[in-house]
Amino acid sequence: MPRFLGCCLALLCSIALQAADNAALVAGVFTPPRVAPDFQLRGSDGGTLQLSHYHGKVVLLAFGYSSCREVCPVTLAILAHARSKLGAAAADVQVVYVTVDPERDDVARMHQFLALFDHSFIGGSGNPAELAAVRKQYGISAMRHDTVDGYVIAHSSFVYLIDRRGMLRALMPFGHGVDDFVHDAKLLLQERS
């Protein structure tokens, strides 16, 4: 009987520790974590944007476009504020922002747009097929809707949290504030690559 109770106690402790690890992140957790799909696009810094180049850093990956008037600027402002609250640790956090609007968002426009929020942000652009392939890998929807003065794009609005090893760890939906991103980034930064 004591042996049985010991095994049960060990099992319960193991389950509790795993739940505590997952519950520690505010964002929705991927269980188990999986490799973040790699991609290559044209980067807003003038180079090639390849996600795997950021192994060793925590990556906050978002999708949107520069002509967005509502959700995208809010998301980018929150991410910029979160990076500033991280202080020196922000050097190990990279925001990657992939456009859903290849028609308007070339690398120069992405650079100019992202610099309004944080000069360290890297934007990704490419041709429609390249960007569609990246969206598909990440389950991002993007639908163009014509308007009187042009068009808007309705798109998925969440941020992927990728750890230093390049693993998808969590997904933060729109509506979370700066402190949630700071909290989760700090937890991921504490882990070794």
Q: Where are the domains of the chain?
A: 28-190
The pLDDT score that the predictor gives to residue 101 is 97
User: For residue 154, what are the contacts with CB-CB under 8 A and spacing of at least 6?
Assistant: 141, 142, 143, 145
The token duo for 128 is 């429609």
pTM of the predicted structure, to 2 decimals:
0.87
Burial of residue 2, with CB atoms counted within 10 A of its CB: 0-12 exposed, 13-18 middle, 19 or more buried? exposed
The pLDDT score that the predictor gives to residue 192 is 77
Polymer length of the chain: 193
The pLDDT score that the predictor gives to residue 18 is 43
From the list 76, 86, 175, 152, the residue with the least C-alpha distance to 116 is: 76
pLDDT along the chain (193 residues), means of 10: 42 40 77 96 97 97 95 97 97 98 96 98 98 97 94 94 97 94 96 78
**Residue appearing with tokens 């990440």:** 138
The pLDDT score that the predictor gives to residue 193 is 66
Q: What is the CATH number of domain 28-190?
A: 3.40.30.10
